[in-house]
Amino acid sequence: MNEPPLIVQTDRTVLLETQHPQYEAARDRLARFAELEKSPEYVHFYRITPVSIWNAAALGESVDGVVDWLVANSRFPIVPTVLAQLREWFRRYGLLRLFAAGGGTLRLECDEEGLLAKLAENVVLRDLVVVDEDGRCVVAEEQRGALKQALVKLGYPVDDRAGYRTGTELAFSLRTPRSPGHPLEPTFALRDYQREAAAAFHAGGSDRGGCGVVVLPCGAGKTVVGIAAMNLLQTNTLVLTTNTVAVRQWCREILDKTELHEEQVGEYTGEHKQIRPVTVATYQILTHRKGKLDGFTHLDLFDRGGFGLIIYDEVHLLPAPVFRATAGIQARRRLGLTATLVREDGRADEVFSLIGPKRFELPWKQLERAGYLAPAQCSEVRVPLSEARGARYAAAGARSQIRIAADNELKVDVVGALLELHSKDRVLVIGQYLEQLQQLATVFRLPLITGQTPNVDRERMYAAFRRGDLPRLIVSKVGNFAVDLPDANVAIQVSGTFGSRQEEAQRLGRVLRPKTDGGSASFYTLVSADTREQEFAQKRQLFLTEQGYAYAITAAQDVLHAAAARREARA
């Protein structure tokens, strides 16, 4: 009989044996309340944190369910202090509750005697909380976000029941296949999980809902979830997203899937400043300022337009100034959308406290099995350094080594071989460094989109790719997020941002839309062998490993030989 698959350590690290027969089931269960930190070949390392437990509690996990499962699946007895810590974190979720008290104030309540008085003595909370003559903790409405931020950092998440402003009413319906004037359009219907995600956020319109994060893979229709939430709330809405191309995609989707008219949907970007019942803006425009010492020019957009709902697309990218603004608008409903609730800057607690807890999540592989995502094969292609580049690498400092490895000129031949092997596919080449991408664009005579490409040209090339007129396209980091290219089925990543897990997931997501022919997707990441880039690649792959994707390790020489064999076969 096999031993259990887990080892739970005293620092709340959980080791999972990847060759164990119960590996996949244990991995999926662990992902509900723990975060993957390292993924060597035979043992994966997870860590249980306060935020991971509070998000699990928000998703309906129980303390007994988690503790009993860990005990049953641990190879060795778990130290009692670890289990006690987990129980304490679960206990703290919802222990503090915030209610409206009238007169511009809120009331903080707690069932644990003496805790509020103790917390009120904290130097940070002393300026936020006033204990009145009846012993009640009173907070000014405008300090709602600051209080929640401070308390979550002290280890006490707040169950915010203080309610929301309704915003200006916006009555509209979702478009149905038989809508007048659109009889020939493809059928639009909410998928079951999209409806469930919107409903989990909405919570029947009660104060228990109205804030939080929906986590779904790229290609699973997070935009549609946002539209469904708008439809449930029927209020003016501000959508914040990553760039102007994404703004226009949101506008197109909203007009395509609802009965709203063009004059009701506005773009607020560097090119247009339209404030309408539904306004779609970029994070960049909100954080714009004329000089380093000047205020943010457009941050008051939150307070204009009668918005009752704010949607944060790609919420894991939320910039610090928008965090600060969000702290001041806690009386509006807030929905975060993301494929990867991973913050490389460690601010996951601020997403939790200011946007809200995780309300809905589905594993990527579950959606793949249901046919909502294309199956994908991931490969790490290890490319050697030339003798000259190897010498440069050995003599360079740590930071310079990263660029030297990423710019490896031998990757060009591997890209050529992969393009040959996928000559009939729709291929995206994605990278970090502009000089490298420009070289590839020149060598293979392919169109290139970077941050300097005018929006009109970006949209033209994306449209040509969607039509099939451009079967291959090179994109910089601007292609990481919110680019709708449903027929792309091959991605070749030539360089990336250090160990960014969310970037790796987003780039795989570019090719995960289900294919009309039912085919699979291929994702290649080119890595210079035996360099720091290889180390960073392992970190980048953590989130996808947690989701059930395995990387086949391939030598560059094998790819080159496969392409040569195909040429010979054609000859």
Q: Name the least confident of 37-46, 62-71, 344-353.
A: 344-353
Percentage of the residues of the chain whose pLDDT score is greater than 90: 58
Q: What integer is the mean pLDDT of 45-51?
A: 94
Distance CA 448, CA 437 (A): 8
Q: Could you report the per-residue pLDDT of 186-244, keeping only the tens digit for each?
A: 457 899 999 999 999 999 988 888 999 999 988 889 999 999 999 999 999 999 998 88
pLDDT of 116 reads 86
First to last CA, the chain: 55
CA-wise closest residue to 223 among 356, 314, 286: 314
pLDDT of 4 reads 94
**Backbone angles phi and psi of 554, in degrees to 5:** -125, 135
Per DSSP, the three-state class of 245 is helix
Give the torsion sign (CA, 394, 397, 401, 404): negative
Tokens for 55, please give them: 């998000």
Going by their DSSP bridges, the two strands 490-493 and 427-430 should be labelled as parallel
Q: Name the least confident of 30-44, 425-439, 554-568.
A: 30-44
pLDDT of 482 reads 54
List, in order, residues 6 or more apart from 359 with CB less than 8 Å away: 58, 59, 197, 200, 201, 209, 212, 213, 214
Q: Could you report the per-residue pLDDT of 306-328, keeping only the tens digit for each?
A: 999 999 998 887 877 777 778 88
Q: How confident is the model at residue 184 (pLDDT cuts 50, 70, 90)?
A: very low
Output the average pLDDT for the chain.
89
Q: Could you report the per-residue pLDDT of 66-89, keeping only the tens digit for each?
A: 999 999 999 999 999 999 999 999
Q: What integer is the mean pLDDT of 496-516?
A: 81
Tokens for 442, please give them: 């020149």
**pLDDT surpasses 90 at 277:** yes
Domains of the chain: 6-92 (no CATH), 96-160 (3.40.1170), 192-362 (3.40.50.300), 368-570 (3.40.50.300)
pLDDT of 217 reads 87
3-state secondary structure 131-189: ECCCCCEEEEHHHHHHHHHHHHHCCCCEEECCCCCCCCECCCCECCCCCCCCCCCCCCC
Which pTM was predicted? 0.87
For the chain, the C-alpha Rg in angstroms (whole number) is: 25
Angle at 48 between CA 346 and CA 112, to 5 degrees: 95
pLDDT of 34 reads 94
Q: Name the least confident of 298-312, 352-366, 443-457.
A: 298-312
For 494-521, give one letter per residue: b (16+ CB within 10 A) or e: bbbeebbbbbbbbbbbbbbbbbeeeeeb
State the DSSP string of 479-532. Answer: GSSS---TT--EEEE---STT-HHHHHHHHHTT-SPPTT---EEEEEEEETTSH
Q: Could you report the per-residue pLDDT of 359-412, keeping only the tens digit for each?
A: 999 888 889 999 999 999 999 999 999 999 999 999 998 889 989 999 999 999
Q: 171-179 long-range contacts, Cβ below 8 Å, gap at least 24?
A: 171/234, 172/231, 172/234, 172/258, 172/259, 172/260, 172/264, 173/231, 173/258, 173/259, 174/227, 174/228, 174/231, 174/257, 174/258, 174/259, 175/256, 175/257, 175/258, 175/259, 179/259
Distance CA 218, CA 505 (A): 8
pLDDT of 264 reads 97
**Sheet of 278-282, strands arranged across:** 265-268, 278-282, 237-241, 309-313, 333-338, 211-215, 358-361
Q: What integer is the mean pLDDT of 134-157?
A: 89
Q: What integer is the mean pLDDT of 40-61?
A: 92
Q: What integer is the mean pLDDT of 22-38?
A: 90
CA-wise closest residue to 299 among 333, 335, 328, 334: 328
**pLDDT surpasses 70 at 136:** yes
Tokens for 569, please give them: 């076969």
Tokens for 188, please give them: 């639009």
pLDDT of 547 reads 83
